[in-house]
Amino acid sequence: MPPEQPEQPDGGGVPPDVRDRLRVTDALAAAARGVRDEPERMPAALCAACVRLLPVTGAAVSISGGRGVQMTWCVSDRVAARLAELQYTLGDGPCQTALEQGAPVIAADLTAGRDTRRWPVFAHEAAEMGVLAVFSLPLGVSGAAVGTLDLYCDRVGGLSEPDLRTALWVRDAVTYALMSVQPAYDGTEDEAEEAVASWVEASEADHTEVYQAVGMVMVQIDVDPEQALDRMRARAFAEGRTVSQVAREVLARRLRFRPEPDGRDDDQGRDGDRS
């Protein structure tokens, strides 16, 4: 009689962590293959794959170009887009903290406790959107964060250890896509570079006008870029709008910021409110 064989784990002897990693790799590869002829759709496909792989409601990837400079690369849905814009408008939230610390930030309950004290305004506004938990994972290598993968849930609760491990694998794949992606292209290297550039161009489109408006506000009230962006953020929050909406009004010259006579900058209303 042959010796009794030890029981094999599910999956034909493949360890669970290896099996899970293969599942992540296969899902992201399938997402990439599905849009290989339309490379501009790759970021959105990766975001959608993130949501399918994890017990989350939505996902977004934001790229950071330095302090106060951030753009959305892809989102899985409208709430994820609004959440990314909210953090950009406030200059605060789990995404900003993950960028500053270069480490994952888990906000498991935006309705009570430590998370509401840590980001009181963000937590209140996010909960109003129905976002009750956020997980921000920095993208980058060697501790240098170039952006974040932001996951949100419409229910309170953290990520289990296996789910967090999967999220970190997804983060690594998205980092690679962001920093090294080469679309499946049969054309020349120039064509491939143009395709990749189109992703970045698309992600920058929403915030290009913000950068332009910052330049105008700098001239109007004689401050540095960070102070100009802070004033635009303050105006946006006070009026319940996004910083992008305020930027459009600045560019259209419907909104002008003026310095006070004593040197303090004053967030003024639309042109015509004051001479």
Splitting the chain (275 residues) into consecutive groups of 10 residues, what average pLDDT does each group show?
A: 48 68 80 75 82 94 68 88 89 90 93 93 95 92 77 95 88 72 44 41 54 82 80 80 82 85 52 41
> What pLDDT shows up at residue 261?
59
Residues 152 and 83 in one domain: yes
150 shares its domain with 236: no
Q: What is the 3-state secondary structure (H, E, C) of 80-129?
A: HHHHHHHHHHHCCCHHHHHHHHCCCEEECCCCCCHHHHHCHHHHHHHHHC
162 SS3 class: helix
Q: Are residues 106 and 139 in the same domain?
A: yes
For residue 44, the SS3 value is helix
What is this structure's pTM? Answer: 0.66
Number of domains in the chain: 2
Give yes or no: residues 117 and 45 share one domain: yes
For residues 164 and 225, state if they share a domain.
no
Within a domain: residue 190?
no
Domain identity same for 173 and 206 = no
| pLDDT score at 125 | 94
45 plus 145 within the same structural domain: yes
Question: 43 with 148, same domain?
Answer: yes
Q: What's the CA gap between 136 and 171, in Å, rounded?
A: 10
Instruction: Tell me which residue range forms the domain holding 52.
Output: 16-180
Q: Say yes or no: 158 and 217 in one domain.
A: no
Amino acid at 97: T
| Domain co-membership, 103 together with 173 | yes
186 domain residue, yes or no: no
In terms of domains, do 29 and 109 share one? yes
| Residue 12 dihedral angles phi and psi, to the nearest 5° | 70, 35
Predicted local distance difference test score (pLDDT) of residue 104: 92
What is the Cα–Cα distance from 128 to 195, expressed in whole angstroms? Answer: 38
Nearest to 62 by CA among 124, 163, 164, 136: 136
Residue 115 has a pLDDT of: 94
Angle between helices 78-90 and 94-101 (to 10 degrees): 60
Nearest in space to 27 (alpha carbons), one of 7, 50, 2, 60: 50
Are both 121 and 83 inside the same structural domain?
yes
The verdict on residue 70 lying in a domain is: yes
Q: At what angle do helices 225-238 and 189-221 cross, to 10 degrees?
A: 80
